[in-house]
Amino acid sequence: MHTPFSVDTRTLGVTFPRPNEAQVVLWAPLLKQVSIKVYGQPNALPLRREELGYWCLTTDQIQPGDRYTFVVNGRDEWPDPTSLSQPQGVYGPSETLDTNLFRWQDQDWRNPALADYLIYELHTGAFTPEGTFAAIEERLDYLNELGINAIEIMPVGQFPDGRNWGYDGVFPFAAQNAYGGPAALQQLVDACHRKGIAVVLDVVYNHLGLEGNYVQEFGPFLTDNYSTPWGGAVNVDDSWCDGVRQFILQNALMWLRDFHIDALRLDAVHAIKDLGPVHILAELREQVDQLMEKTGRRHYLLVECDLNDPRFIDPRAEHGYGMDAQWIDEFHHALRVAAGEKQQGYYADFDGISHLAKSYRDAYVYDGQFSTVRKKRFGRRAETNPGQQFIVFSQNHDQVGNRKLGERSSQLYSFAMQKVMAGSVLTSPYVPLLFMGEEWSETAPFLYFVSHSEPALVDAVRQGRQEEFVDFQDDGPVPDPLDEDTFLRSQLQWPLLEQEPHQTMFRYYQRLIALRKQHPALRHLDRTTVAVAVNEEQQTLLVHRWHEKQQVLCLMNFSGTAQSVSIPDAGKRWQKLLDSADSQWLGTGGSADSLTDTNTLVLQPESLLVLSLGHD
């Protein structure tokens, strides 16, 4: 009999519930016959059909480390769609794994409060020259030195070959073999926890990749009722959707429970189409809450969402889906336009500094106004959601990598403006996210790269990138996503850390992060203790934050000339915490260390000034 679904343990695929006993569970509701072929054994082992489309077997003839495939309807042979390991890639057999064999050393680990997260997004293959989980582990001391306390790893579900952003994964349960596989990921998470670093894993539940995708051979994992920009939509509300929903829920719980992942970042949840009575995100929230109650460990669910709809982050008790936080692209868009980005494409909806001021106040820029890009009124106000429910950034993999030439801020803006942008994120009343390398003003691009082998898919990817940038021919040819050099160019250049001005930028980020941790007015993400004043003519912005007896002023000048600005509480002794124009940050010279008997001061061109008043 199929073991009922439980948050306590994974039941899909091959598991080892007791010594010398393997349990095999496969969801394949439309098949007539299923057996499991274990490499090295003469005969395939038949599975028994049970209710709701599940096929099951309990046996002592399968051990951890065995290679296997499923034989369906007596003829076709496929890897396990819930495989935990694909040591020979997407076309090879699956490998059994007992996740309970890993000896965790993180018993004293406590996941920080989400409001205290300082997130560092990285791509495993491009973060280091080696491109492995083990190589990330070797850089943890560096990340500690920077001051971040959470890494967000781009998707690691098995994808074709070894070069991919990760959003083309086809085995969501299997950690990418080119990165080191599942045991190496467990080792990395354990090491992160010993260093005081939380781990966020990017997961994709809105679509599946195309190459090496065999799920439709087993059942209706996809539906024709909806479509996504990346192919067929995952079936979470059509016929036979219950098995697909369990596939998603068990995957998410596996990462949290068996790999000790602290938080999941769910990719593009607006592309998950679910008209059922309980949205899949709300069901996931319920299951994760049950897991936390049983284990005593805390986990967060973070979403990328292109809808300014607080329903995604409102509590379930208030008819929301209960996600803990969402990425806020609009903060990024407004910031980029304020820094000089052209108002084209999706940036056409943003006027720069006034919209940035609105995002500081309201999180969403569009909360009911007409959007010229979307050609409709868009968004709804998020009035009661605290600051920790919004994640902001000046760069991320999408906003860099989806540019034609993959330019980072270092290639688009002056050194001075990069410092302003960093400060705007790290002094915000939201959870900040950095993209790997920005902290030293990395100059290498982050390009879109894949390593598909199916000729038709290769042609489609190349053609799609060409068409996406057909209006940008003056910039030169689109880098070929299939060319290995495109990937190699996207890897971080660690030697830059030993050079100027990169070393100074790293110290500047260290200082900003330290200030955020040290000062209550910056650390507490209370949206009711934020006031914003904007001067569009001057292109200056004043963000006033306070907590109990401490106040902090963050003054930003996005213009190319010095500007005189007024400050509140004139005559009090405001202390300078940081001035990006100081010579120590390779600026032209900043302001005095303290300000008294004046209500105005001069902000240098493209600069950030942070002042403090009261106890810290």
Q: What secondary structure does DSSP assign to 282-297, as a single string? A: HHHHHHHHHHHHHH--
Binding-site sequence positions: 265-270, 329-333, 397-402
Q: What is the 3-state secondary structure (H, E, C) of 457-475?
A: HHHHHHHHHHHHCHHHHHH
Q: What is the 3-state secondary structure (H, E, C) of 46-93?
A: ECEECHHHEEEEEECCCCCCCEEEEEECCCEEECCCCCCCCCCCCCCC
Distance separating alpha carbons of residues 34 and 55, to the nearest angstrom: 7
CA atoms within 13 A on the CB side of 596: 3
Distance separating alpha carbons of residues 450 and 446, to the nearest angstrom: 13
Secondary structure E strands in 250-290: 263-266
Selected catalytic residue, list 190, 238, 258, 267: 267
Question: Could you tell me which residues come within 8 angstroms of residue 435 by beta carbon, excluding any fewer than 6 positions away?
Answer: 121, 393, 395, 396, 397, 400, 408, 446
Question: Could you tell me which residues come within 8 angstroms of residue 562 by beta carbon, excluding any fewer than 6 positions away?
Answer: 602, 603, 604, 605
Distance separating alpha carbons of residues 286 and 288, to the nearest angstrom: 6
Burial class of residue 108 in the structure, from the number of CB atoms within 10 Å of its CB (0-12 exposed, 13-18 middle, 19+ buried) = exposed
Please give the angle made by the CA atoms of 127, 130 and 134, to the nearest 5 degrees: 85
**Residue 540 CA from chain centroid, whole number:** 31
593 is catalytic: no
Binding-site sequence positions for substrate: 265-270, 329-333, 397-402
β-partners of residue 228 are: 231
Selected catalytic residue, list 304, 341, 362, 606: 304
Distance separating alpha carbons of residues 432 and 149, to the nearest angstrom: 11
Q: What letter represents residue 558's amino acid? A: F
Coil, strand or helix: which one is 177? Answer: helix
324 is catalytic: no
Tokens representing 72 are 């369906």
User: Where in the sequence numbering do the catalytic residues fall?
Assistant: 267, 304
